[in-house]
Chains A and B, each alone.
Chain A
């Protein structure tokens, strides 16, 4: 069974940092591009970041560029999101998502499937 399990969320103060992790199982992690998507409370979905299967290419949305960094460790089947200079508007559930297709080296997408259960990040003083 394909599984994505996020961890690392919690309550932090504005300006602080946090690292989210996403442990993958049930598939060959190193074959797939991986994404982060967030959802603020009672709001819609916002695309954050993507990393190619080999970690060689990344993309970050303008809303997090320069503050968040996506990375992966294929030897540990784990995706990360390093979050710095956190703001109250970063408060959201953060989802780890696998791309639907295997396309080596790409950061394009063919749909998101499956999604992890999400981890809540709350930024508040």
Chain B
């Protein structure tokens, strides 16, 4: 399954709402889709699994939604520490695949 993330780069200001999209080339089994955040020089961190469940310790300003082939990560009110690269991943079908990433930058 090919995952296509849009936009490639998103420029926003702290306090604004961010909407990141992930489209799949075919339906993602059981909404087995995750979102990860990666900051420069660090490993990725799990934010959302099963399309809409927040991982342990993730603030509630992060939310995931979607099913089938269209998924969204929403950050309701951006904090300075949220500016990073975000990846979606499907784990319902083999091979596991990642999207190419969306860079969220400060405007």
**Chain A interface residues (CB < 8 Å from chain B):** 44-47, 59, 61-62, 95, 100, 108-118
Q: Given contacts A44-B87, A44-B100, A45-B87, is CB(A115)–CB(B43) below 8 Å? A: yes
B78 sits at the interface (CB 8 A) = no
In the complex, what distance in Å separates the CA atom of A47 from the CA atom of B98?
A: 8
B39 sits at the interface (CB 8 A) = no
Instruction: Decide if the interface of chain B is mainly helix, strand, loop or mixed.
Output: loop
In the complex, what distance in Å separates the CA atom of A32 from the CA atom of B68?
A: 28
B13 sits at the interface (CB 8 A) = no
- Give per-residue flags for B76-90: 1 if the beta carbon is below 8 A from chain A beta carbons, else 0: 000000000001010
Q: How large is the interface on B (under 10, 10 to 19, 20 to 34, 35 or more residues)?
A: 20 to 34
In the complex, what distance in Å separates the CA atom of A115 from the CA atom of B98?
A: 15
6 contacts between A and B (CB under 8 A): A110-B32, A110-B50, A111-B46, A111-B55, A111-B89, A113-B55
Q: State which residues 63-107 of B face A: CB under 8 Å.
A: 87, 89, 91, 94-101
- Least CB distance from A35 to B in Å reads 8
**Chain B interface residues (CB < 8 Å from chain A):** 32, 34, 36, 42-46, 49-50, 55, 87, 89, 91, 94-101
A62 (CB) vs chain B CBs: closest residue: B95
On whether the beta carbons of B46 and A45 are closer than 8 Å, the reply is: no
Residues of B within 8 A of A114 (CB): 45-46
Q: Given contacts A110-B49, A111-B34, A111-B49, is CB(A47)–CB(B43) below 8 Å? A: no
On whether the beta carbons of B43 and A109 are closer than 8 Å, the reply is: no
Residues of B within 8 A of A95 (CB): 43-44
Which residue, of A62, A111, A116, A117, has the highest number of chain B Cβ atoms within 10 A? A111
Q: Given contacts A44-B87, A44-B101, is CB(A109)–CB(B46) below 8 Å? A: no
